[in-house]
Amino acid sequence: MAQPHVSPTWQPPSRDEQSAGTLDAAERDDLPDSAYAFPAQRKEPLTSASHVRSALSRFDQVQDVTDTDRALAFENIRRAASYYDVDMTEQSWHDLMH
């Protein structure tokens, strides 16, 4: 059964919120929900190209999310990948499940 189309919620973070390095707890807490692949759970921040690649590689490890959450996260990652110029060949979140 096909999943309904989900509109991405990801928005590019402001320059001071973009970080290629590790985010500490305070930095993560300061990010808006729209900076995360999984905004409701505030999982997988997408604040740089390296974070997008990390979200792609860890996608199947995220726990306690629904298929709808995964569909939204995939669209958010796709939008962030485009913004940060990260190559992404996957066409569906199912392609990221190992």
pTM of the model: 0.89
Look at residue 45 and give its three-state secondary structure. strand
pLDDT at site 76: 98
Q: What pLDDT, in 10s, does the model give residues 20-70?
A: 678 889 988 999 999 999 999 999 999 999 999 999 999 999 999 999 999
pLDDT at site 22: 82
Q: Contact, 63 vs 38, CB < 8 A?
A: no
For residue 37, the surrounding DSSP H or E stretch is strand 36-38
Q: How confident is the model at residue 2 (pLDDT cuts 50, 70, 90)?
A: low
- End-to-end alpha carbon distance in the chain: 20
- Residue 5 predicted with pLDDT over 90: no
